[in-house]
Structure 1
């Protein structure tokens, strides 16, 4: 099965979506001898294989074809990309080089539907959001996306989700549709020796207030082990960094909190090796309850790091009771208890850490690619 995967945003990019699409397509290509095409907006003049090696740390594959579309324009850039990608895919279909099309872009659904109607190719929607019923959301500016999903999702050959909760949400509205749950992946599993001896609670990612990083600070001020510290990997917004450090100062733990600022992928790997426990605090919201699949969990899992997260369905289904502990939203006392428990003994810690390594082996990008291929071929 030859597949075109339409991403649409800039490639390469620092955002998680660019990594997600690149690793997904690499996983697809690694599970077939046929060609996998990734269509993205041009953001480099460098050699594609050089970018794969040095930016994404992936081994280039002869059947992974990155098709970068020059969509530079003052206005209408997205529409320009869709039209150019549509025409390129159409030409490949005519040459019998594409059998199926996947997109994660709601705006590309009409174009994909026309490809199915005209040429008979299979079409699939990979969803990371939900617009079918905007009454469930706190926004009112996505009516076009809501309309597109209502019109075109019943017509696609299948919907791919990255977690069960999102699949179940769509099934409430489209119970007859075909679904595939293919989780966000891990590139490789690297077990860090003696990570119980590490001194850092770790957090990777955005510092937005809905991430509830303050929960970790309040808990750190109350844990038994005063040698524990907090390593925050991220921070583009200087104002938000200052707010976090100011709170640490007020709590008397400023000397135990380090914020790196935004760092390269290579440095993320370095910091992961310094972490003892991976933290996933989240506010209880529609997005966090139904849509998110935090990449930080997969980062932690790739190094055998046990996780403590807010007790939300989206976190619990990935982490499971064997790989981490959970606390109710805004229950700092429960968070303190969870940290103390994982930090209580090497025996307790290693039990969780070993389970994380085994769980991580089920979540590799290649496994994701295999699952999607099986779904498309079924």
Structure 2
């Protein structure tokens, strides 16, 4: 199975959605061919995404060209999103995609018009033209919270709820608090008697940062409050607000691999989400909550429906949202009752082991397997395009064989009529031939693939011979070493054309590494091509044209002899060696 994950994001990004997307692609890739498709945008982060997130290099990342207009605000973002969406739609048009998955509704909106197995993972509660279509047309909808499911349930049945997750082993580190403090001594006190209250994440208002900051002022003699993360703009505002306060510290975003050290080094982890915003109150599934839980460090969290979907009083200490006095009291209580808080932390640690990226991917893939339909790819347009290519590329061959001159000798009107008829008849014949193969394939499925391969074989033959004859007509060369060079030039164009047609239509190998497949494809094709060049040279230059036969006609006879060699050799090589499909495993 081939999965295309479409994400209109800057990659890598300091925001949590980048981590979530990369982790899900890593897990999808263990079970199916996976390709992440993102826009090529300006990025101040120059680190390789796989290194930045600590993710295995097990899937392909494709970057599509866009106009990077996000810096111009909401209008710029919408315009960039539309451009990326249309380019992504073009990119995926001829690809065999068993599943198209994503969080962004605009790209999926365009893809839903010509792709069936579109799956949307909703992270926010909103309804626009794209969401309306996806709720109606998507093969499946996944939400990260019950709150989001309730928001959409009147418009869509069968929604899967799948909260966010964590790499448990990454956060379940064996280092002690003292050892973590030593490693982070640049920012944190090494004396473990000095209490550290830590928040990790962005500094958005709906995250409840103001409530936690007010709490720090009231507890300046009890603990150091550390805020880790934030965008460049938000961080600048936050730093100017805290000035030189000794009990409040801001730490710039860290590599994700370093976050487990910070969580283990703290005494209390705080999740202060505000109840004033619907996204915080009902829709969110905070990544940091799952990471907090995996660390084994005590947690204080806002008492919100979205948070209670994941944890209870047995796992965390709740406080009243947006109430800094209550947060002060709960923080003091937590620091004074370390044994009780550690018991809650251990309960949270046990619970979060059910929320790993691996289990989330398996749950979603099982849902996809139930919802998706086998996409019956239309053969009409590929057959039309291939037939038209054959008809057009035959013209320089007919010219070189003097047949066009013969046709025009009967008058221009009749000649143009015959050419027009030719340009219609060949594509129509191609469609009819593939249609007959489809009927026959009901009894013998391999027939359709062979018919497709045969049609593309003829197209490649006409690409090859058409370019050769065109170059021969331009240069006047039809024999000798220069003719061998013309054959090589024709082969170079033909092999690239052949690769794309065979990959995406004949063998329907939409996933996998395109570079590796092309290298294998080039190797197989080169082997048969060298054999063909040898045959061409033998027939044209060694044997030579029979007396009275034009050299150009004899050169085309040599090319015709190569056809069965190419057909059989390449078909076997492509099917067995180049285009392999990975089957999905959801057990």
State the TM-score, normalized to the length of structure 1: 0.81
Partner of 2:540: none
Q: Does structure 2 conserve the Cα–Cα contact (< 8 Å) formed by 1:233 and 1:268? A: no
Aligned mates of 2:240, 2:163 — CA distance in 1: 35
The list of structure 1 runs, each at least 4 consecutive aligned residues, that deviate by more than 6 angstroms after superposition, is none
Aligned mates of 1:361, 1:99 — CA distance in 2: 30
Partner of 2:37: 39
Q: Does structure 1 conserve the Cα–Cα contact (< 8 Å) formed by 2:142 and 2:160? A: yes
Partner of 2:15: 15
The answer as to 2:161 corresponding to 1:181 is: yes
Deviation at 1:44, TM superposition (A): 8.3
Unaligned runs of 5+ in 2: 70-75, 179-191, 371-587
Task: Kindly report the root-mean-square deviation, in angstroms, between the aligned alpha carbons of the 2 structures.
Answer: 2.7
Aligned mates of 1:77, 1:320 — CA distance in 2: 41
SS of the equivalent of 2:113 reads: helix
- Bigger-Rg structure (1/2): 2
The answer as to 2:331 corresponding to 1:339 is: yes
The answer as to 2:353 corresponding to 1:361 is: yes
Partner of 1:142: none
Deviation at 1:328, TM superposition (A): 1.4
Equivalent residue for 1:233, pick from 224, 228, 245: 228
Unaligned runs of 5+ in 1: 133-145
Partner of 1:80: 83
Aligned mates of 1:15, 1:339 — CA distance in 2: 27
Query: Residues 335 and 28 of structure 1: is their aligned pair in 2 closer, same or farther, counting only changes over 3 Å?
Result: same
Aligned mates of 1:81, 1:218 — CA distance in 2: 42
SS of the equivalent of 2:66 reads: coil
Q: Does structure 1 conserve the Cα–Cα contact (< 8 Å) formed by 2:5 and 2:101? A: yes
Aligned mates of 1:58, 1:151 — CA distance in 2: 33
Q: Describe the superposition over 1:14-70 as per-residue Cα deviations: whole angstroms up to 9, x where unpaired.
A: 22222221111112223x1x201211112589xx9x835421101222xx2222212
SS of the equivalent of 1:59 reads: coil
Q: Describe the superposition over 1:64-111 as per-residue Cα deviations: whole angstroms up to 9, x where unpaired.
A: 222221224668433332222222222221xxxx21111211212332
Partner of 2:113: 114
Partner of 1:321: 313
Aligned length: 340
Structure number with greater CO (CA < 8 Å, separation at least 6) is 1
Moved more, 265-274 or 289-298: 265-274
SS of the equivalent of 2:95 reads: helix
State the TM-score, normalized to the length of structure 2: 0.53
Aligned mates of 2:223, 2:315 — CA distance in 1: 20
Aligned mates of 2:314, 2:177 — CA distance in 1: 18
Aligned mates of 2:258, 2:322 — CA distance in 1: 31
Aligned mates of 1:228, 1:110 — CA distance in 2: 49
Q: Mapping of 1:1-378 within 5 angstroms?
A: 1-30=1-30, 32=31, 34-43=32-41, 51-61=48-58, 64-72=59-67, 76-93=79-96, 98-116=97-115, 121-132=116-127, 146-171=128-153, 173-175=154-156, 177-187=157-167, 188-191=170-173, 195=177, 199-222=195-218, 226-235=221-230, 236=232, 237-243=235-241, 245=242, 254-284=245-275, 285-378=277-370
Q: Does structure 2 conserve the Cα–Cα contact (< 8 Å) formed by 1:231 and 1:257? A: yes
Aligned mates of 1:152, 1:193 — CA distance in 2: 46
Q: Does structure 2 conserve the Cα–Cα contact (< 8 Å) formed by 1:5 and 1:36? A: yes
Q: Describe the superposition over 1:128-163 as per-residue Cα deviations: whole angstroms up to 9, x where unpaired.
A: 11222xxxxxxxxxxxxx122223311212111111
